[in-house]
A and B are shown apart, each in its own frame.
Chain A
Amino acid sequence: MDIFLQQIINGLVLGSIYALIALGYTMVYGVLGIINFAHGEVLMIGAMVSLSLLRLILGLTSDLPGWLTLLIILPITMAVCAGVSYWIERIAYRPLRNAPRLAPLISAIGMSILLQTLAMMIWSRNPMTYPQLLPSIPIDLWGSGATITGKEIAIIVIALAVMCGLLFLVEKTKLGRAMRATAENTQIAALMGVNPSRVISITFMLGGALAALAGIMIASNYGNVHFYMGFIPGLKAFTAAVLGGIGNLKGAMLGGLLLGLIESLGAGYIGDFTGGLFGSNYQDIFAFLVLILVLVLRPTGLLGERVSDRA
């Protein structure tokens, strides 16, 4: 019980990040019916780009408050990643719209490798430290033994705000309507005057921006970045998207938070459950097990999936 609250908090932080990444996967799956295998790499690029920007700014001046620096680099990083995501779709997916299903998947794997290699070349093969700009001093919570840092609060709050913003966009705006229409039935949407290619591009760009945010959060949370950092979170976020119901935005958010909690609590308690046989170093396995369980027992996810007719 002593670690329960702490693990809940850790789970919420982790889950918020997963949710942001999962949204990217789920939106793309909704309109195109494919897994954007390279999505995790966009996250990594976001972290890398933000690192470069931070180094630039911190090199110029160290007077700016941490939050302001972040505020400056955030939109730039998100814009860059939106662009990266856009080009991923243009190069690796669009030409293969009518190819057999295996083709875009293999192409995406190639794109993933390509991005990792570019990161290795442009930045470094080795992990690099990420400057800590937000307060990392643990704040005691009501003497329960659990602590939370300002950084973690920021992550949860920002993620929540962004998710609400996205929901607003999708449900209340014209663009959002176009996205939903394309997700339901691309051909009919086209007949209604929606430009599916444009909607798909925007979907990718939105996903990319969210991934950038998640990348910055992960980098801040763990204090370092490396070229391989997108792979595992990407995989887990995909699991979260499936858990919530692929194509379903609220599902992705729910799935993300849930997966974060499952992972945290699991890692925290697995030692006790298995009598020390398995420790928290098996943390990553939880996501995979959840994935297999969900796909076998309830493939449509908790909130039901929303995949377009063409999928």
Chain B
Amino acid sequence: MKGFRIVLKEALFNRLPRSAYLWIGIIALIILPWVVGASGGNYWVRVLDFALLYIVLALGLNVVVGFAGLLDLGYIAFYALGAYSFALLASPHLPQQFETIAAAFPEGMHFSPWIVAVFSIILAALFGIILGFPTLQLRGDYLAIVTLGFGEIIRIFMNNLDRPFNLTNGPKGITAIDPIQLFGISFAKPLDLGFIQIPGLYLVFYLFVLLAISVAIVCLHLQNSRIGRAWVAIREDEIAAKAMGINTRNMKLLAFAIGASFAGVAGVLFSAFQGFVSPESFTLWESIVVLAMVVLGGIGHIPGVILGAVLLAIFPEVLRGIAQPLQQALFGHVIIDVEIIRQLIYGLALILIMLYRPGGIWQKGGNNS
């Protein structure tokens, strides 16, 4: 098996100079939405766009779980914070509910997503620190449950803060959120360049690709730094890490805050992209999905995590495309709902990966357990 992998690597990666692969990659990414759009339609380009958001989420959670070894089951709460921040600051909801706000913003609230993104980085990091401060000293499983509780608390608040005053609009969620804007160009409409028209979804794709690449680079830099080493030390043996003079509490808080801020930014963009948010998008299941991406892909291994995110983001769609018609063809009707199959596979995958390949599909370096 190892020999085969070496041969494959040889065949794929060592033929051309490094820069050639870079250009191939860039060109592939540029034409990807066009290819997908032409063959599958806008639906699949949307899937790709969401997949890229998931990559950002997975990379963020990877900092917490993969680098620092802290199991956060409430990660999606930070995503929710970012999403609702933008929803509140760039939609007609608040002016509709509160006269004073409507008066202060006669033209409506239309904060730029970029400003809100910066704001949500700070907000998410702050919440991460507030959550982490009392809890990061806890044993691994306790931390998992507490973070899970935190995620649920945020969701309950989102769901119920429509009384006595309507902040979040409860289960109905907030709609009519401004789309992404950059230099006055709205990403909800096609961009007319004269010789070519780029659909909004494709613009979003390019933007999200840039975001995902930036996040990946940030993670890479963190990994190979003094901070990254400290995280691995803490993950391997916290007492020995302390004996090295590492302030483990602060390092863990840092991991938490950084992971949270990635989710916050992703949340803002999600909100702007989808145009509406509701508590349903931020359930425990979503936290588990992101965790599954990290675990399946390769805990702590950046390329693995990206692969995991892409596979798991696309998988449910592929499943829907296959399982439904397949069952129709075989049995005449759908016996098991696609949603259930999806969950079944997730559950099995988590168990099987832990039992047989705990390092993930694409694990680190070849010298992993």
Contacts and interface: CB of A to CB of B under 8 A. Distances in A.
Direct contact of A and B (CB under 8 A): yes
B350 A121 contact: no
A109 interface: yes
Interface string B48-84: 0000000000000000010001010100000000000
Given A117-B344, A282-B156, A284-B156, A35 B354 contact: no
B38 interface: no
Nearest to A311: B139
Interface stretch (A74-82, A93-101, A182-190, A209-217): A93-101
A288 B350 contact: no
Contacts of B336: 121
B149 A235 contact: yes
Interface stretch (B140-148, B200-208, B301-309): B140-148
A288 B145 CA distance: 9
Contacts of A299: 138, 142
Contacts of B138: 295, 299
A203 B11 CA distance: 54
B354 A285 contact: no
B160 interface: yes
Contacts of B150: 288, 292
B329 interface: no
A105 interface: yes
Contacts of B295: 106
Interface string B288-305: 100100010001000000
B152 interface: yes
Interface in A271-311: 276-279, 281-282, 284-285, 287-289, 291-292, 295-296, 299
A99 B347 contact: no
Contacts of B349: 110
A282 B163 CA distance: 12
B193 interface: no
Interface string A8-24: 00000000000000000
Interface residues of B, number: 43
A157 interface: no
Given A121-B336, A276-B164, A296-B135, A107 B145 contact: no
Given A110-B351, A113-B350, A292 B156 contact: no
A109 B321 CA distance: 27
Contacts of B6: none
B119 interface: no
A99 B295 CA distance: 15
A121 B358 CA distance: 28
Interface of A: 34-35, 91-92, 95-96, 99-107, 109-118, 120-121, 125, 231, 235, 238, 242, 276-279, 281-282, 284-285, 287-289, 291-292, 295-296, 299
Interface of B: 65, 69, 71, 73, 134-135, 138, 140-142, 144-146, 148-150, 152-153, 156, 160, 163-164, 284, 288, 291, 295, 299, 336-337, 340, 343-344, 346-355, 358
